[in-house]
Amino acid sequence: MTEVTMEKIVSLAKRRGFIYPGSEIYGGLSGFWDYGPLGLELKNNIKNLWWRMFVQERDDMYGVDAAIIMQKKAWEASGHVAGFSDPVVECKKCKRRFRADHVSIKYQKNELGKILAGKEKWVCENCGADNEKFEVRQFNMMFKTYVGPTEDESSTSYLRPETAGGIFVNFKNIIDSFHPKLPFGMAQIGKAFRNEIAPRDFVFRAREFEQMEIEYFVREKEWKESFEIWREQSLGFLKSIGVEKSSIHELEVSPEDRAHYSKRTIDFEFDFPFGRKELFGLAYRTDFDLSRHEASSGVELKYLEEGEGKFIPHVIEPSFGVERIILAVLQTAYTEDTLGKEARTYLKFNPAVAPVKAAVFPLLKNKPELVAKAREVYTSLKKNVPQIMWDDNGNIGKRYRRQDEIGTPVCITIDFQTLEDDTVTVRDRDTGKQERVSVSELEQQIKVN
Ligand SMILES: [Zn+2]
């Protein structure tokens, strides 16, 4: 079995144009990453498959794309201004700040699970100074900004730390425009920002990231049933992109550890090279969010049902981090083996997420008749399967290795026989096996979504 390390994934991701460190020519900026051509295609495939499964193929889901910056009051109502913070301690000598729970495990928590104080002494891992006191401060992780020309308290706002807020503030709009019947959901894919004290583990804990979130509104008595359905459907989505249920571990979050308003939360964890960590989450948030926004905005956020009257619906929230899923997909796909006595590294992507569905080559690039025929095949396929790559660089063996490494499921070679009978060689990424396929059947063979 292949030992998959972060070094191997990070190195392949950079070398082959998936993910680069942000602001790299200036020495980088911790917690920010840039996507190259292949990483972007991979990311778009994952987002598009999610959107199709959870929004387009359903009749009970409403998509939104809300503004990233919202009224400060919305973040006060959601509890983020007061409570979206990590406990930190500051080194007296170098002033570097650390997460309190990274410095000490012997701390006391208050009833909301916030770290209050820890052991008396701790050693700074940056400068080695002995710190006598363990003074905990709360550090709000929202990025602060100013809206408009004045920089004062009244113009302060934040880059959203999660996409869910933009869903709740549009609840009334969806009710008014579409009159949906309960249960129904609202979905959003978009960027979110958290000023993490310690960004780490490649794209796993970054300061700018993307979320795919659903708020599924139900009657209170339906929550358990709906929660189970979402648990299965969430796992079904992961399976459809190549991450099997068997590699996911469900952690039932205990009452002390979950948010006070949540009556049930499951963290779905994955064995990353740096440990078992959360891949996505599912939470029953009761009617907390809409109630808070109703109280704070003064706008009624109730649902009117025949015979039942008005009430605030309860909500089930499946929440996915796009980058964490990308990382799990990359790790699952990363394979080292030997093919034809030659060691190789390849990405065994499920074709649905593969950034390139097929590569097309002329056998020789100095034979105009082969190049012309290959171009014809390539152009024709690209019309309906846009994720097709042209490659005529180096010999065939090198092209195969290169395509294997970026996870292209099949390579199509146009050779002299093609000119006679209109068949091509189709070579399979995983087995290396080749077969002759008629040009007219190619599209059918490579079309996966
Ligand atoms: Zn220090």
- Tens digit of pLDDT for each residue in 325-359? 999 999 999 999 999 889 999 999 999 999 999 99
CA of 255 to the centre of ligand 1 (A): 36
Strand pairing category for 410-414 and 358-362: parallel
CB-count burial class (<10 Å; 0-12, 13-18, 19+) for 128:
exposed
Q: Is the pLDDT of residue 107 over 70?
A: no
User: Which pLDDT value is given to residue 303?
Assistant: 97
**181-215, pLDDT tens digit by residue?**
999 999 999 999 999 988 999 999 999 999 999 99
CA of 102 to the centre of ligand 1 (A): 14
CA of 130 to the centre of ligand 1 (A): 8
CA of 278 to the centre of ligand 1 (A): 30
Q: Is the pLDDT of residue 117 over 70?
A: no
Report yes or no: 244 and 260 within 8 Å, Cβ to Cβ.
Answer: no
**55-105, pLDDT tens digit by residue?**
999 999 999 999 999 999 999 999 888 877 777 888 888 888 888 777 765
Q: Is the pLDDT of residue 448 over 80?
A: no
CA of 404 to the centre of ligand 1 (A): 46
How would you label 46-68 residue by residue, b for 16+ Cβ within 10 Å and e otherwise? bbebbbebbbeeeeebbebebee
User: Measured between alpha carbons, how far is 34 from 170 in angstroms, rounded to an integer?
Assistant: 30
- Give me the percent of the chain exceeding a pLDDT of 70: 96
Q: Is the pLDDT of residue 114 over 90?
A: no
CA of 195 to the centre of ligand 1 (A): 20
CA of 137 to the centre of ligand 1 (A): 16
CA of 211 to the centre of ligand 1 (A): 34
* DSSP one-letter code for 155: G
- Give me the percent of the chain exceeding a pLDDT of 90: 79
CA of 139 to the centre of ligand 1 (A): 18
CA of 99 to the centre of ligand 1 (A): 13
Confidence of residue 9 (pLDDT cuts 50, 70, 90): very high
**426-441, pLDDT tens digit by residue?**
999 999 999 999 999 9
Neighbours of 144 (CB within 10 A): 11
User: Which pLDDT value is given to residue 130?
Assistant: 86
User: Which pLDDT value is given to residue 89?
Assistant: 83
CA of 199 to the centre of ligand 1 (A): 18
For residue 92, CA distances in Å to 102, 126, 133, 319, 341 come to: 17, 12, 9, 38, 58
Quote the longest CA-to-CA distance of the chain: 83
**152-177, pLDDT tens digit by residue?**
888 999 999 999 999 999 999 999 99
CA of 305 to the centre of ligand 1 (A): 59
Q: Which protein residues have a CB closer than 5 Å to ligand 1 (ion)?
A: 91, 93-94, 124, 126-127, 129
CA of 122 to the centre of ligand 1 (A): 10
Q: Angle 405-411-412 (CA atoms, 0-180°, nearest 5)?
A: 160
Q: Is the pLDDT of residue 108 over 80?
A: no
User: Which pLDDT value is given to residue 113?
Assistant: 56
User: Mapping DSSP to helix (H, G, I), strand (E, B) and coil, where does residue 97 land?
Assistant: strand
Give the dihedral sign, CA 134/80/265/191: negative
CA of 128 to the centre of ligand 1 (A): 6
CA of 125 to the centre of ligand 1 (A): 7
CA of 68 to the centre of ligand 1 (A): 35
CA of 89 to the centre of ligand 1 (A): 11
Mean pLDDT over each residue of the chain, to the nearest integer: 93
CB-count burial class (<10 Å; 0-12, 13-18, 19+) for 202:
buried
Ramachandran area for residue 307 (φ above 0: left; ψ -120 to 50: alpha; else beta): left
**358-377, pLDDT tens digit by residue?**
999 999 999 999 999 999 99
Mean pLDDT in residue range 395-414: 96
Q: Going from the N-terminus, what domains does the chain have, and what CATH number goes with each?
A: 6-79+151-331 (3.30.930.10), 85-140 (no CATH), 356-446 (3.40.50.800)
CA of 207 to the centre of ligand 1 (A): 23
Q: Angle 4-6-7 (CA atoms, 0-180°, nearest 5)?
A: 100
CA of 447 to the centre of ligand 1 (A): 56
Higher local confidence (pLDDT), 116 or 445: 445
CA of 138 to the centre of ligand 1 (A): 19
Pair of tokens at residue 124: 């700074």
Confidence of residue 449 (pLDDT cuts 50, 70, 90): low
Give the dihedral sign, CA 276/279/283/288: positive
Report yes or no: 155 and 144 within 8 Å, Cβ to Cβ.
Answer: no
Q: Is the pLDDT of residue 10 over 80?
A: yes
**217-275, pLDDT tens digit by residue?**
999 999 999 999 999 999 999 999 999 888 999 999 998 888 888 999 999 999 999 99
